[in-house]
């Protein structure tokens, strides 16, 4: 028997076959996409820690799926990295610094913007959409309610030329359950979170800004500036249900102590 025939016969014996389309996630990288300080925590936790500054992390997440790279959130604008004193906050928002650019962190991994297969942002606040247009050809998954939400002076929230898939609810991005966008409105009209199934780490829910830090999660507090208090509360309950059902971890994007304890790119989660 030739080697090729032997391999074929062994393959039949083991019932091996190539899947119709490659499935599954194998790596998740946490990228530093900004370091902020809010001047007054109570902006996010009404009546609690009034006047106390709040240090916050701002992460992006690069996920490797068998069908390609997926980017979740883009952080504050890379241009802030070049500002010696960072960017001052307005209307009680955080001051931002950018110790590392998003592009620099991708480059260190050998990933070019054009290598990204698809992307999504949790919502359209500037600390999440700061670099969407560094990926002008990449399909963007966003809730229709967020896309249609009028911006300042009725300006569109995204470049109208950016390829987009408008969602009205959840979306299993690659159809295999490994990366699922969860509709979690309330912080903004079309806010969304991300459920990722990793082979060793298990299921992780990336919060977006459904909640900003653990103490707010534990006490189910809703920031005063959220679009809808009721929707935010319902979305937190929904996430709690997912965590229980999937035995999942909640990774809270802006929770600095939690983020500081996580592996950062080029290290990754499997
Ligand atoms: Zn945010």
What is the per-residue pLDDT across 108-159, written as a single tens digit (0 to 9) for each? 999 999 999 999 999 999 999 999 999 999 999 999 999 999 998 999 999 9
- Mean pLDDT across the chain: 94
Residue 265 Cα to ligand 1 midpoint, Å, equals 20
Q: Ligand 1 centre from 211 Cα, in Å? A: 9
Handedness of CA 201, 59, 120, 125 (dihedral sign): positive
pLDDT band at 5 (very low <50, low <70, confident <90, very high): low
Q: 209 C-alpha to center of ligand 1: Å?
A: 5
Helix or strand (DSSP H, E) at 251: strand 249-251
> 210 alpha carbon to ligand 1 midpoint, in Å?
9
pLDDT, mean of residues 83-104? 96
Share above pLDDT 70 across residues of the chain, in percent, rounded to a whole number: 93
Distance 227 CA to ligand 1 centre (A): 13
Average pLDDT over residues 230-244: 98
pLDDT higher than 90, residue 85: yes
| Nearest Cα to Cα of residue 202 among 169, 173, 245, 141 | 245
CA of 72 to the centre of ligand 1 (A): 13
Residues 45 and 54: beta-carbon distance below 8 Å: no
Given this model, what pLDDT does residue 1 score? 45
Residue 228 pLDDT > 60: yes
Query: Distance between alpha carbon 190 and the CA centroid of its chain, in Å?
Result: 14
Among candidates 90, 203, 199, 75, which has minimal Cα distance to 132?
A: 75
Q: From ligand 1's centre to the CA of 228, what distance in Å? A: 16
Asked whether the predicted pLDDT for residue 14 surpasses 70, the reply is no
Cα of 69 vs centre of ligand 1, distance in Å, is: 23
pLDDT number for residue 159? 96
Range name among 4-18, 168-182, 237-251 with the lowest pLDDT average: 4-18
> Which pLDDT band, with edges at 50, 70 and 90, does 13 fall under?
very low
Buried-exposed string 114-127: b where 16+ CB fall within 10 A, e elsewhere: eebebbbbbbbbeb
Taking residues 14-38, report their average pLDDT.
83
pLDDT for res 20: 54
Distance from Cα 73 to the centre of ligand 1, integer Å = 10
Residue 3 reports pLDDT greater than 90: no
pLDDT of amino acid 87: 98
Residue 254 CA to ligand 1 center (angstroms) comes to: 7
Gap from CA of 62 to ligand 1 centroid (Å): 17
Residue in the block written with tokens 């189910």 = 220
State residue 36's pLDDT score. 98
21 pLDDT above the threshold of 80 = no
Give the Å distance between the CA of 222 and the centre of ligand 1: 14
pLDDT at 11 over 50: no
What is the whole-number distance in angstroms between the Cα of residue 224 and the centre of ligand 1?
Answer: 14
pLDDT at 15 over 80: no
Buried b (16+ CB within 10 A) or exposed e, 39-67: eebbbbbeeeeeeeebebbbbbbbbbbeb
What mean pLDDT do residues 221-236 have? 98
Element (H, E) at 7: helix 3-13
Q: Ligand 1 centroid to 125 CA: how many Å?
A: 6
């Amino acid at each position: 028997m030739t080697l090729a025939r032997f391999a074929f016969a062994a393959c039949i014996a083991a019932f091996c076959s190539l899947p119709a389309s490659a499935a599954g996630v194998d790596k998740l990288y946490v990228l530093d996409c900004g370091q902020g300080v809010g001047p007054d925590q109570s902006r996010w936790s009404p009546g609690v820690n009034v006047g106390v500054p709040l240090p916050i992390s701002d992460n992006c997440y690069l996920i490797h799926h068998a069908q390609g790279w997926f980017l979740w959130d883009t952080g504050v604008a890379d241009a802030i990295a070049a500002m010696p004193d960072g960017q001052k906050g307005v209307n009680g928002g955080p001051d931002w610094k950018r110790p590392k650019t998003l592009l620099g962190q991708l480059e260190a991994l050998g990933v070019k913007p054009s290598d990204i297969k698809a992307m999504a942002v949790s919502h359209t606040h500037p600390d999440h959409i700061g670099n969407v247009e560094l990926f002008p050809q990449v399909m963007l998954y966003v809730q229709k309610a967020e896309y249609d939400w009028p911006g300042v002076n009725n300006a569109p929230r995204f470049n109208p030329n950016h390829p987009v898939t408008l969602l009205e609810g959840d979306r299993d991005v690659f159809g295999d359950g490994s990366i699922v966008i969860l509709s979690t409105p309330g912080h903004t009209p079309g806010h969304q979170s991300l459920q990722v199934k990793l082979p060793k780490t298990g299921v992780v829910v990336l919060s977006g800004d459904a909640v900003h830090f653990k103490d707010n999660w534990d006490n189910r507090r809703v920031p005063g500036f959220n679009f809808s208090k009721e929707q935010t509360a319902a979305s937190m309950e929904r996430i709690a249900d997912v965590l229980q059902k999937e035995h999942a971890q909640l990774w809270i994007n802006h929770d600095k102590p939690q983020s500081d304890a996580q592996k950062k790119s080029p290290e990754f989660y499997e």
